[in-house]
Structure 1
Amino acid sequence: MRPLIIAALSLGLGTPALADWQQTLDAARGQTVYWNAWGGDARTNAFIVWVGEQTEAKYGVKVEQVKLTDTATAVTQVISEKAAGKDSGGSVDMIWINGPNFLSMKEQGLLHGPFATDLPNARYLDLGPDAAASVDFTVPVEGYESAWRLARFVFTYDSAVVTEPPKDMAGFLDYAQANPGRVTHPDVSNFMGSTFLKQALVEFAPDKAALQAPVTEEAFAQATGFLWQWYDALRPLMWREGATFPENQSVQQQMLNDGEVDFGVSFDPASAAGAIAEGLLPDTARVFVPRDGSIGNISFVAIPYNAANREGAEVVANFLLEPATQAHQQNIEVLGSFSVLDATKLNAEEAALFANLPSSPALPRLADLGPTLLEPHASWMTKLVEAWGERYIK
């Protein structure tokens, strides 16, 4: 870690000695936070280990990652505990959550809060009503989850093999027609697979504004007409003729590295640079986005209503927003995720943490990623996955 970041962490920059926050710190000391988070990315897992080391050293709060393959597993656990009358002492302290899972928990009253806007480090965020940190898949956050990393949907390819990647989702059909068996996506039951479909949905929908409202049968039929035509044509030209799919993005990345397919997918623009550094992709790997932009969102953490260690979870959520933490996270040698902080709210010393981070030819600038396309309302993803299963799973 860079010395400046170490110094900032040791000084605890961004954590005011507020009386009420001090009570939270006191209650949190000695707690172990069970952070339920997708476990399919080694760099993210390592970052969570680092977070636990830092919060234990600074605040006496340990972090244990409960590695998930599907966030819905943690949601189901909280639902089961509520049904059993376990309204305190719950086993899930914090969840990396987005979209339909957040909407489901919020609607069922399964979330602790509102807490996020009261975190001392929330002052570094843009929390305007339409800001990215205030809306999750069109659903107002209202303080029931806290931002921690910025995500953009990107494609990975080997520039030594693919000289002209597709310019849009329609272009993947053209590519597959010229190169049968070289295109695939993660299984649609996986978030990355459903995002592949959502990216196409957003591009092809005749009325994109309709995607921002809860889905209806009529709106879904109108929005997906061309999508299914495109996918019907694409599927038999995919890897293994679309009969099976890689389990997740990590498996697809390995397939790309092995030369089995020509594209990978990620919600992390720094994924290619990080994979090159780890020897998991060739030096010629690069990322691209469709010319009109790609889906983007913010990753959040939420605390269940019955969390046994919710004070500790608030401390961890607040630590994730430290400028030094965000700079460490943005370092491509660590994780490479762009910061969620509003740069205009940083002082000179805090801004300096981001100024000299390592770069890579495979790391795009934020400007290179083009427009951020809005996530559809969470109900669209649920309906899209269901409809895909009905059409293609025999």
Structure 2
Amino acid sequence: MKRSIKESLVSLSIITTLALTSQFTLADTPTWQDTLNQAKGQTVYFNAWGGADNINDYIQWAADRLEEDYDVTLKHVKLTDASDAVNRVLAEKTAGKNTNGSIDLIWLNGENFRAMKDNALLSGPFSQRLPNYRQYVDENARQSLTQDFGTPVDGMESPWGMAQVIFMHDTQTLPTPPKSIAELLTYAQANPGRITYPEPPQFLGSTFLKQALYELTEDTDLLSQPVDQVNFTTITAPLWEYLDTLHSVAWRNGQTFPSGSEEMIRLLDDQEIDVALSFDVSAASVQIDKGNLADSVRSYVFTQGTIGNTHFLAIPYNSSVKAGAQVVANFMLSPEAQIRKQHPTVWGDLSVLSYNRLSEAEKEQFNDIPRGIATLSIEELGQTLPEPHSSWVSALEKEWRRRYAQ
């Protein structure tokens, strides 16, 4: 049986000098040119979610560019969940494998970052050393650039993109979609079997729980505190009452849940459900372009806003190719890579670069990115709701599974 991050942390007994000092080894490299020289010929094993073909294609494009320009080989190790990679690093540290680790770069945020940072499993700080970070990232532009689900980043991971929950509906069958958690339940009660959400702990399913909790909780400030410092039972009582009612009229009577956004999109296209979710603001445009959704599908957000966050790249403490990993992270922050990633038919991921720090030519390239037939503009995305403290994720998932897992 696969152990959870929490269980692995309990079993991890390491307070070694090596673990602590490994965080500062990158500072020993005096210049970026030295890093480029060291990176030549290195192979970087990049552990990243592999559940979407367009994202996998983008990573392969980046790998081709890195090979061509920097003589760095990027190998995409496709994950179902980032916690799998975190647990592998934990296992390697428990076994005393403090060098030549199997993972060189991880795509992560939230509780996975907190678990690695709290247990000295990260190499760094390194992000402020990256030339593209210094030139293009404005830490004051967005709190999530420096606070990852309530955990200070402290340069231990490099921002890669920004995401926000969006909903999708077919305007031909549902011209006026529900625009709040309360309206979603009202619609489900009037249209049994037409509403669902991904099954936690799939990240979008867990985010749906957080979105619902945010709208159902009177004092949302409590969500920014560690979960063990508040009355979890009292705060979440309205959430479970809501879900009890929703499940009784949900798709397949709440006995089965979609595996993720991709399955929800298929169900929407097959007209089995009326509303799908994604953390990709251009998901609908991408799928319409691929012929997987009707061109009458559109995206929308809730009236009071939806949850958004920044996702990052981090380097494990025991990677043997830290220079190569930094070169990859720096390339991913280049205008070239960020512009391509924001293209709605490539990925549609929102850029972490500050528009005001771009050259006029780079601004023009960003301005020329087609928005996509179903992609919301920054203005249309409206208010971005902050992520709760990362400790809420496992607490919500555990309670959800106790109540509803089959």
**Which bin holds the TM-score, normalised by the shorter protein?**
over 0.9
Are 1:285 and 2:292 matched, yes or no? no
Which residue of structure 2 aligns with residue 125 of structure 1? 137
1:222 maps onto 2:234 in alignment: yes
Q: What 5-or-longer segments of structure 2 have no aligned partner?
A: 1-28
- Residues 304-350 of structure 1, C-alpha deviation per residue, up to 9 Å, x if partnerless? 00012221111010001101211111111211111111111112122
* Contact 2:130 2:330 (8 Å CA) reproduced: yes
1:264 matched to 2:272? The reply is no
Using the alignment, how far apart are the partners of 1:165 and 1:313 within structure 2? 44
2:120 maps to which residue?
Answer: 109
Which residue identity lines up with residue 314 of structure 2 in the other structure?
A
C-alpha distance in 2 between matches for 1:170 and 1:217 = 28
Q: Work out which of the residue numbers 375, 378, 403 in structure 2 matches 1:391.
A: 403
Q: Work out whether 1:25 is the aligned partner of 2:41.
A: no
- Deviation per residue, 1:74-111 (Å, 9 max, x gap): 00110111011110100011111010010001001000
Residue of structure 2 equivalent to 1:93 = 104
Q: Residue in 2 aligned with 1:6?
A: none
Q: Which residue pairs with 2:195 in the alignment?
A: 183
Q: Verify: 1:54 aligned to 2:65, yes or no.
A: yes
Q: Determine helix, strand or coil for the equivalent of 1:216.
A: helix
CA contact (8 A) 1:286 1:362 kept: yes
Distance 1:21 1:119 in 2: 8
**Which amino acid in the other structure matches residue 44 of structure 2?**
V
Question: What is the CA–CA distance in structure 2 between the aligned matches of 1:49 and 1:305, rounded to whole Å?
Answer: 25
Q: Which of 303, 306, 326 lines up with 1:314 in the alignment?
A: 326
Aligned length: 377
Letter in 2 for 1:321: L
- Report the Cα distance in structure 1 between the residues aligned to 2:319 and 2:303, rounded to whole angstroms: 43
> Which blocks of at least 5 consecutive residues in structure 1 are unaligned?
1-17
How far apart are the structure 2 equivalents of 1:132 and 1:344? 18
Superposed, 1:1-394 pairs within 5 Å as 20-123=31-134, 124-128=136-140, 131-216=143-228, 218-394=230-406
Q: Would you say the 8 A contact 2:103–2:319 is kept in 1?
A: yes
Displacement over 6 Å in runs of 4+: none
Counterpart AA for 1:187 = E
Partner amino acid, structure 2, of 1:55 = L
Separation (CA, whole Å) in 1 of partners of 2:147 and 2:274:
34
Question: What letter corresponds to residue 84 of structure 2 in structure 1?
Answer: T
SS in 1 for 2:31: helix
Q: Higher mean Cα deviation, 157-166 or 221-230?
A: 221-230
Separation in structure 2 between the aligned mates of residue 301 and residue 363 of structure 1, nearest angstrom: 25
2: CA distance, partners of 1:266 / 1:221 = 28
Displacement after TM superposition at 1:217 (Å): 6.8
How far is the alpha carbon of 1:359 from its aligned partner?
A: 2.8
Question: Secondary structure of 1:202's match?
Answer: helix
SS in structure 2 at match of 1:85: coil
Stretch deviating more after TM superposition (58-67 or 212-221): 212-221
Q: Which stretch shows the higher mean deviation, 346-355 or 218-227? A: 218-227
Cα deviations across residues 56-86 of structure 1 (Å, max 9, x unaligned)? 1010011111111111100011011101111
Q: Distance in 1 between matches of 2:339 and 2:139?
A: 20
After superposition, give the CA deviation of every residue in 1:111-169 in whole Å (9 maximum; x if it has no partner): 01000111111121112396321111111100011111110011111111111111101
Report the CA distance between 1:204 and its aligned residue. 1.1
Q: Are the equivalent residues in 2 in contact too, given 1:210–1:219 (CA < 8 A)?
A: no
Q: Is the 8 A contact 2:371 2:377 kept in 1?
A: no
Per the alignment, in what secondary structure is the counterpart of residue 145 of structure 2?
Answer: helix
CA distance in 2, matches of 1:136, 1:43: 25
Partner of 1:11: none
Q: Which amino acid aligns with 1:89?
A: N
Code of the residue aligned with 1:148 in structure 2: it is W
Q: Alpha carbon RMSD of aligned pairs, Å? A: 1.4
Q: Distance in 1 between matches of 2:386 and 2:253?
A: 31
| Distance in 2 separating the partners of 1:27 and 1:114 | 18
Maintained 8 Å contact 2:195/2:274:
yes
CA contact (8 A) 1:321 1:341 kept: yes
Could you tell me how far apart the structure 1 residues matched to 2:139 and 2:368 are? 27
- Please say if residues 194 and 381 of structure 1, whose CA atoms lie closer than 8 Å, have aligned partners that are also in contact: yes
Q: Distance in 2 between matches of 1:377 and 1:359?
A: 32
Contact 1:180 1:239 in 2 (8 A): yes
TM-score, L = length of structure 1: 0.93
**Identity value in percent:** 44
Given residue 338 of structure 1, which amino acid in structure 2 is its aligned partner? Answer: L
